[in-house]
Amino acid sequence: MSRRLLRSGSRWLLRWLYLIHRWIGIATCLLFAIWFISGVVMMYVAFPGLSEDERRGFLPALDWPAVQLAPDAALRLVGQQDWPRSLRLEMLGAEPVYRVQPYSGAALALSARDGRVIQDVSAAEAEAAMQMRFPAARFVETVERDQWSVTARFNPHRPLHVLALNDAAHTELYVSAVSGEIVLDTTRRERFWNWLGSIPHWIYFTPLRADAPLWRDVVLWLSGISIVVAASGIWIGIQRIRLRRRYARGRLSPYRGWMLWHHWAGLIGSVTLLAWIVSGWISMNPNAWFSSRNLAPEALQRYAAAPGLDFPLPLTAQAGVHELRFGWLGGQPVLQYLGPQGLLAISSVPTADHVLRAARTLLPMARPVLQEMLQAEDAYWYSHHHRRVLPVLRIGFDDPAATWFHIDPRNGDILGSMDATRRGYRWWFNALHSFDFAFLRHYPPTWEIVLWGFSLIGLAASASGVVIGWRRLQRKLSG
């Protein structure tokens, strides 16, 4: 009786596996095909963003004589009681502006000429400011949210004025109507290719992505269902292979035509396909398995150890400077002069020992157990679409999370942090999804060939599945 029940249960389970793979697979195969094609595009074109060097490149060089207000005076004017998280000086058109980011609360901007608070920047003002650097710049529209500014990180800056530079790249800049700050740039190439890349790959359509919790649930459910369909297909595909009692004419597979393509491509690319779908599901951080990457404000305040609002270093006029950054590192003032290509000069250069002493205050209850100066990229510090800073100081602690920090030794800037879960995420998502293993990254053509190869195999499996499913649907509807 128990054996009969077991056989009956096995047949019932097998039937449902076939039904799930057959009918739900029609939709998921179309989704797989989209993912494979868009994934190849994403190898070469990233979703639009704005690097610090790019942002400075859109600004005029500092007008030194126009700066009439000292940084500590600017902080007092906006009511700062302590040194803020960041303070920088840059141009807004013809006016030098201090930009203040407190540890809590909204960012502030005020004129370095007369202390006037910068707010409610109009489209005409944004256009006039940009024309100081790009005379052909023209206002396009003001948006609350669009395809390229859909994420929540732009919320403090909304609404956004879109300005076309009318350059060869057809660049469009997004300028905050709140403060006049440039927060995003896109080019025609990015806008075109992302409709074939990141947008379909991430299901990143504006109405859906604007609701972050809903978007996350949609991606998790679609990925989860896709995992079930792919796993069932792999199991069925293996079951249909005969190595000993072969099919007619010695064939290993019973299928012909599109079914044969689907069978073999699905089996050959099965491991990669499943790895990509599972890692894509993991990218959404299901059940909050992976920690946040944000540093606690208290840790940053200890690291800076600013004694007050007074900043003792004088400003020295230098050509080609597009931004000044005022900061503290372990109680030592640091003044950075930056241009579009990065750091130009620094006042009060921190020593390696001073950076290390400051770094130990990030987690005062833990003991440093790792300290190394990376001269080359490794598995946890490497470039993809953006170049990583090298050399970089890595310091790790014996806290329960086994936290690491990466610090720029030139100025003490904290470039990133990762604990054990984020290092796990690097393997569970980045490695499985992007194949960014060192032996492939060091030979870019090999990395491209491998990803192209597996993508084409996956596309063959999914496209053949779409054809098979469409034909089966037609027969059902016509019969």
Number of neighbours of residue 185 by Cβ within 10 angstroms: 22
Residue with tokens 């009956």: 8
CA–CA distance, 144 with 157 (Å, rounded to integer): 9
Both tokens of 347, joined, read 């006042």
Beta-sheet pairing, 108-111 with 138-143? unpaired
Report whether 387 contacts 368 (CB < 8 A): no
CA–CA distance, 262 with 260 (Å, rounded to integer): 5
**For position 96, what pLDDT does the model report?**
97
**For position 147, what pLDDT does the model report?**
97
Both tokens of 3, joined, read 């054996």
CA–CA distance, 427 with 380 (Å, rounded to integer): 9
CA–CA distance, 409 with 320 (Å, rounded to integer): 23
Both tokens of 253, joined, read 């597979």
**For position 253, what pLDDT does the model report?**
87
**For position 13, what pLDDT does the model report?**
66
Q: Which phi and psi angles does 108 have, rounded to 5°?
A: -125, 155
CA–CA distance, 419 with 402 (Å, rounded to integer): 5
Closest CA to 327 of 353, 344, 349, 342: 349
Cα of 188 vs its chain's centroid, Å:
20
**For position 5, what pLDDT does the model report?**
59
CA–CA distance, 418 with 423 (Å, rounded to integer): 6
**For position 273, what pLDDT does the model report?**
86
Q: Which residues of the chain have pLDDT under 70?
A: 1-14, 479
Q: What is the DSSP letter of 20?
A: I
**For position 2, what pLDDT does the model report?**
64
Report whether 62 contacts 316 (CB < 8 A): no
Closest CA to 21 of 231, 293, 221, 326: 231
Report whether 112 contacts 97 (CB < 8 A): yes
* Bridge partner list, 87: 100, 326
pTM of the predicted model, to two decimals?
A: 0.91
**For position 3, what pLDDT does the model report?**
65
Number of neighbours of residue 456 by Cβ within 10 angstroms: 14
Q: Is 253 helix (H, G, I), strand (E, B) or coil?
A: coil
Q: For residue 17, give Cα distances in angstroms to 3, 131, 233.
A: 21, 63, 8
Is residue 91 within a helix (H) or strand (E), and if so which, with residue range?
strand 86-92
**For position 8, what pLDDT does the model report?**
62
Number of neighbours of residue 409 by Cβ within 10 angstroms: 18
What does the buried/exposed string (b/e) look like for 51-66 if buried means 16 or more CB atoms within 10 Å of the residue's CB? eeeebbebbbbbeeee
**For position 10, what pLDDT does the model report?**
59
- 3-class secondary structure per residue, 399-447: CCCCCEEEECCCCCCEEEEECHHHHHHHHHHHHHHHCCCHHHHCCHHHH
Q: For residue 289, give Cα distances in angstroms to 10, 26, 276, 285, 428.
A: 34, 31, 18, 6, 11
**For position 232, what pLDDT does the model report?**
85
Report whether 465 contacts 25 (CB < 8 A): yes
Give the torsion sign (CA, 473, 474, 477, 479).
Answer: negative
